[in-house]
C-alpha cells in the first residue's frame, strides 16, 4: 500500500510545508495541475483550522496527517487533538465562524467541499477533530 504519515507542530509554517508535500505526493499519479491545486487549497484550509481553531495557535501541539494513494485517488486526513467542534452541521455550513474578529469568513469547509470529491468531519469536544478528504486523480 502507498501511504504517507506526517506529524507536524501546529505552526503556520507547517501549513505551507504540508500543503506542498501532499501536492507533490498526489503528483505521483500525474493528475492535471488544477487537481493538484485543489488538493493543496483544501489541505491548507483543514490545517489552518486545526492551528487556529483546534489549538488556538498553540505551536506546541501536534497535527497528524495521513495520506494514501489507492485506486487512482488520494485520501488525506488531517487530525488534531484540540477543542473539537460542538455542532458539525453548523460549522460546515457556509459563512459560519467562531472567530469573526480575526477576519475569518467561515468559508473553509465550503472550499474543502467544493474542491474535493468528499469531505468527512469527525469531531468530539475536547478530544479533537479529524477531516478526511478524497479526490480522484485520473
Ligand atoms: N479543527 C477544528 N477544531 C475546532 N473547531 C473547528 C475546527 N475546524 C473548524 N472549526 C470550527 O468550524 C468553523 C468553520 O470553519 P471554516 O473553516 O468553515 O471557517 P473559519 O475557519 O471560521 O473561517 P475561514 O476558513 O473562512 O478563515 C470555525 O469557525 C470553527 O468554529
Ligand atoms: Mg477555516
pLDDT in tens, 111-125: 999 999 999 999 999
Q: How is residue 3 written as a grid cell?
A: 501511504
Confidence at residue 101, expressed as pLDDT on a 0 to 100 scale: 85
- Domain boundaries of the chain, sorted by first residue: 2-136
Nearest to 46 by CA among 122, 102, 101: 122
> What is the CATH topology of the domain spanning 2-136?
Heat Shock Protein 90 (3.30.565)
Q: What sign does the CA torsion over 89, 92, 96, 102 have?
A: positive
Tell how far the Cα of 108 is from the centroid of ligand 2, in angstroms.
4
Cβ of 106 closer than 6 Å to ligand 1, yes or no, is yes
pTM of the model: 0.97
Nearest to 22 by CA among 10, 33, 6: 6
Q: Which atom of ligand 1 is nearest to 110's Cα?
A: 18
Cβ of 50 closer than 6 Å to ligand 1, yes or no, is yes
Our measurement of the distance from residue 4's CA atom to the centroid of its chain's CA atoms, rounded to an integer in Å, reads 15
pLDDT in tens, 58-106: 999 999 999 999 999 999 999 999 999 999 999 999 999 999 887 889 9
Our measurement of the distance from residue 27's CA atom to the centroid of its chain's CA atoms, rounded to an integer in Å, reads 18
Q: How is residue 122 written as a grid cell?
A: 469527525
Confidence at residue 45, expressed as pLDDT on a 0 to 100 scale: 98
Cβ of 124 closer than 6 Å to ligand 1, yes or no, is no
Q: What residues flank ion ligand 2 with Cβ within 5 A?
A: 49, 108
Amino acid at each position: 500500500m502507498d501511504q504517507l504519515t506526517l506529524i507536524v507542530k501546529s505552526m503556520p509554517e507547517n501549513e505551507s510545508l504540508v500543503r506542498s508535500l501532499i501536492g507533490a505526493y498526489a503528483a505521483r499519479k500525474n493528475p492535471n495541475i488544477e487537481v493538484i491545486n485543489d488538493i493543496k487549497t483544501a489541505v491548507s484550509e483543514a490545517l489552518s483550522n486545526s492551528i487556529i481553531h483546534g489549538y488556538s495557535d498553540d505551536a506546541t501541539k501536534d497535527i497528524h496527517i495521513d495520506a494514501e494513494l489507492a485506486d487512482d485517488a488520494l485520501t488525506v486526513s488531517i487530525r488534531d487533538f484540540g477543542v473539537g467542534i460542538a455542532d458539525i452541521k453548523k460549522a460546515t455550513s457556509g459563512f459560519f465562524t467562531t472567530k469573526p474578529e480575526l477576519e475569518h469568513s467561515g468559508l473553509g469547509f465550503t472550499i474543502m467541499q467544493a474542491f474535493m470529491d468528499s469531505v468527512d468531519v469527525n469531531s468530539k469536544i475536547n478530544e479533537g477533530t479529524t477531516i478526511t478528504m478524497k479526490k480522484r486523480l485520473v
